[in-house]
Structure 1
Amino acid sequence: MDNPFTSEFYTATWLKIFKPKAKERRFKAFGNLSFYKAKYFPIYTVSGADSSKGITYSLEAGKERLGNKAFVIYDFPNYYVRPSDFYKGKLNCWVTEQHTGFLTDLTQYENLEDYLKTNFKSKTRNRIVPLKRRLESCFDIEYKTVEQISRGDFEVIYSRFYELLKKRFNQKQDFCVTLNDKDWEFFKKTSFEFINNGSAVLFLVLANKKIIGVSYGHFLDDNFILAHTVFDTDYSKFNVGKTQLVKLTQWCFEKGIKKCDFSKGYFHYKSQWGNTKYSFEYHIFYNRFSIFSKAISCSIYSFYSIKNFLRKVGIDESVNKIRFLLKRENAPMTYTFHFNPIEVKDAKSLGPNINPVANNPSSIMERAKIEFAFKYNAIMKGISAFEKPDSKSSFYISYQQQFYEGTINHPK
């Protein structure tokens, strides 16, 4: 399948949102790549810049008058063969590694069971499967693969997608570029198009009809690139994130996917589930017969080499923390719950003015019910919560005619 990140739709949409005054430029030497020019210098940067999850391209010798130009191509995954390795024309290329990527080469395994057995210790495997079963026993779980979508359904799902991403990154007190206004607008516009033209797919995990997990990714050749995956942190004890990855890996085997690429950016699950580490390269081309072109490209190469060094020593993590703090977002409150069985006949026996708590997906009581379901392997639909008058830190739970007094340990 053609690379979605070099498609005319993708590059035109990116330019319209991020560089509305820039004119799109194409050069025969770079095949289907699109560029835009810097304001003051003859520097041409690939359209999409670093928004893509992997740029692949070809070169054609002797197809262009290059003059003093320099060209910058972002995010070439180096498990592909570099076009410049076989190029014999006027162009020369600086290569600098920038981001680390992780992928799983599925051709090494017979099936999901073989993959899990080879890559995970028995202790880890014995935790993944039972927690998946517990999730499925406590909730009505649906796994949906979305390959075509209406605008209405898309808006509903992506509203929840945004909510979950924001909640997750606020919990980590980390900055998420995708949640910037322009980046989110770009992500929505391109993903709606890509899902419906068959170059991307959306995976959902629903618990009692509520979306608790969303994953989105692209097809590229025989590979699948996982662009974003997130789960509702209220369900973290159920290992929803690992369940998503198990279902995704199973789907990849069924579809004959050769590589499941977790793309750039470090998260623990990527190193845990990937069996191959690779780099995203920036390719900086210049005219070997132009001193000016070489000088400009050398300065660009030096800039990105320094940036990569700073990234390796952790400066980017500190910058992201600062960017998060500047947005003045608050990390979600973390509560712990305790439950003690009590001997009462029915709800009336709990005392006067005891009222059942209405269902509210974002309430503390909803979190308490989820915690209760996990602890007692209880069916969520059978759990009822009751407010305790004049108390903000205690409540009652009933399940299968047994009552419990619950307490909330508020964060300090």
Structure 2
Amino acid sequence: MLKSNRVSITLLTELYLKQEIISCIYSHIGLSSNLNNNLIGVKSTPSNKKKIYSFTYVPDYITIVVFNSIKWTEKIFPSVNGYAISIDDNLSVDDYLRQKNKKQRENINRALNRLETCFNVHYKMFQKNIEEEEYFFLMRHLKAMTIKRFEQRNQKSDSLTNWDKILSTSLALMKEGKASLFVIYDKDLPIAISFNYIYSKLLFGYISSYNIDYYKFSLGHLIIYKLFEWCLDNQYAQYDMGWGDLDYKKLWCNNIYSFNHHILYPKYSIIGFLYALKHGNKSKILAFLISKGVNKRFSRVKKKLKGNNRITQKRLSYKFKKLTPTQFEQLKGIDPLQKNLHITKQILNDFLFLTQERSSNVLLYYSQIENLYILKGKKEARAILFNQSNH
């Protein structure tokens, strides 16, 4: 079958971008059947073209009505799981975490307190209030952080394959209030960013990443914490973390739902039937394999075959040793972020997390006699002991 006779749409990431095509097939897409809740903003005449329409990643909680249904056959196939937080206005984020997992609540609150203690942190949600220059600045950071984060995990990011399209279309959506960027800053430096789509009172988190130098501070969890808080403050009904069978999503969610693959073709079309049979069952089989963890086992085997564990080795290449003040009184302080030093931003941040010092109060010392670097804050000091096999 010719590709020109097929139309493929990823629903929640292209709903605003392909309204005219979608509205030829569906008369209603919404969080409920209420006519005022219709996310289709344009009206088109029903499609009479003999095409096959494939809609992937369709959440099962969305209400969909087929335009002129007597002319179409719609087949629905289960796909991967999605993870969301259905929001109860009577609960704070802290109350929610207390009910979910008391230990995890303590860990997340500790990470949040330490982040705000150690750095000059502030948070900002950009929507209609963003300028073009700032948009491209933040998106450059988001892309760079995503690349490094996935390199750390030895994985590929699906969102980066569509990056040019996301970059060229999302500013206009933000100006219309249909998308947003949430940012955590250390002073003026973005250290965690989340790009989200907005559908009525649903926040759909599409791409999130963080600066891996701040790894100890659990920024992935803190993004969810702050976005959940924002949803509560703005009376949103749901915060959807999307697909991706990851432990942190399972920890936060209270609603595991199914994404489905919808395939529509003209009534009595043999070609359409065969297409749906092939591609629909492919989605079904892949979803089954993912549910059984086959993809994770395959990923682990690939890592072992490549022998690629660079990031883990790098993180384990040093340790801290506690010192007394007399051990560095005569040493001269140097800038801990000076270039060509072995003391990376990651090491400095790990020291801050451990000691709960303020970043602006930390000095670095170097002893030529002992060939030793020392980090010192107002309350604590640590020598940095490198593993020579990795240094």
Establish whether TM, by shorter chain, passes 0.5: yes
- C-alpha contact (below 8 Å) 1:356/1:387 kept by paired residues: no
Q: Please give the per-residue CA displacement for 1:161-199, whole angstroms capped at 9, x wherever unaligned.
A: 12211221111111112234xx22122122222222211
CA drift at 1:137: 1.2
Equivalent residue, structure 2, for 1:115: 96
C-alpha separation in 1, matches of 2:226 and 2:239: 12
What amino acid maps onto 2:344 in structure 1?
M
- Is 1:178 paired with 2:159? yes
Q: Relative to structure 1, is the Cα distance of residues 382 and 325 closer, same or farther in structure 2, using a 3 angstrom cutoff?
A: same
- C-alpha contact (below 8 Å) 1:191/1:200 kept by paired residues: yes
Equivalent residue, structure 2, for 1:154: 135
Percent identity for Structure 1 against Structure 2: 19
Find the partner of 2:287 among 301, 305, 308: 308
CA drift at 1:298: 2.5
Q: Relative to structure 1, is the Cα distance of residues 324 and 298 closer, same or farther in structure 2, using a 3 angstrom cutoff?
A: same
- C-alpha contact (below 8 Å) 1:142/1:206 kept by paired residues: yes
Equivalent residue, structure 1, for 2:361: 382
Equivalent residue, structure 2, for 1:76: 58
C-alpha separation in 2, matches of 1:291 and 1:301: 15
- C-alpha contact (below 8 Å) 1:369/1:385 kept by paired residues: no
Equivalent residue, structure 1, for 2:200: 221
- C-alpha contact (below 8 Å) 1:134/1:238 kept by paired residues: yes
Show the 5 A alignment for 1:39-78. 63-65=46-48, 67=50, 69-78=51-60
Show the 5 A alignment for 1:119-158. 119-121=100-102, 123-147=103-127, 148-158=129-139
What amino acid maps onto 1:255 in structure 2?
N
Q: Please give the per-residue CA displacement for 1:346-366, whole angstroms capped at 9, x wherever unaligned.
A: 66x238xx8544446996332
- Is 1:249 paired with 2:258? no
Q: Please give the per-residue CA displacement for 1:189-215, whole angstroms capped at 9, x wherever unaligned.
A: 222222222111111111233222111
Q: Relative to structure 1, is the Cα distance of residues 258 and 361 closer, same or farther in structure 2, using a 3 angstrom cutoff?
A: farther
Equivalent residue, structure 2, for 1:6: 15
Equivalent residue, structure 2, for 1:408: 386
TM-score w.r.t. the length of structure 1 is 0.76
CA drift at 1:400: 2.9
- C-alpha contact (below 8 Å) 1:93/1:285 kept by paired residues: yes
- Secondary structure, aligned partner of 2:91: coil
- C-alpha contact (below 8 Å) 1:77/1:279 kept by paired residues: yes
- Secondary structure, aligned partner of 1:83: strand
C-alpha separation in 1, matches of 2:171 and 2:385: 44
- C-alpha contact (below 8 Å) 2:89/2:232 kept by paired residues: no
C-alpha separation in 2, matches of 1:164 and 1:3: 23
- Is 1:105 paired with 2:121? no
C-alpha separation in 2, matches of 1:389 and 1:171: 33
Divergent runs of 4+, >6 A? 24-27, 55-58, 318-330
Q: Please give the per-residue CA displacement for 1:53-86, whole angstroms capped at 9, x wherever unaligned.
A: xx9779x9x945455x4321212110113435x9
- Is 1:350 paired with 2:359? no
Structure 1 residues without counterparts, runs of 5 or longer: 13-23, 34-54
Structure 2 residues without counterparts, runs of 5 or longer: 1-10, 30-37
- C-alpha contact (below 8 Å) 1:104/1:274 kept by paired residues: yes
Q: Relative to structure 1, is the Cα distance of residues 70 and 410 closer, same or farther in structure 2, using a 3 angstrom cutoff?
A: farther
Report how many aligned residue pairs link the two structures: 366
Equivalent residue, structure 1, for 2:24: 28
What amino acid maps onto 2:377 in structure 1?
Y
Q: Please give the per-residue CA displacement for 1:319-358, whole angstroms capped at 9, x wherever unaligned.
A: 76799999999843224321321443866x238xx85444
- C-alpha contact (below 8 Å) 1:56/1:76 kept by paired residues: no
Equivalent residue, structure 2, for 1:370: 349
- Is 1:209 paired with 2:209? no
- C-alpha contact (below 8 Å) 2:154/2:303 kept by paired residues: yes
C-alpha separation in 2, matches of 1:314 and 1:391: 50
What amino acid maps onto 2:169 in structure 1?
T
TM-score w.r.t. the length of structure 2 is 0.79
Q: Relative to structure 1, is the Cα distance of residues 154 and 321 closer, same or farther in structure 2, using a 3 angstrom cutoff?
A: farther
- C-alpha contact (below 8 Å) 1:74/1:282 kept by paired residues: yes
Query: RMSD of aligned C-alpha atoms?
Result: 3.8
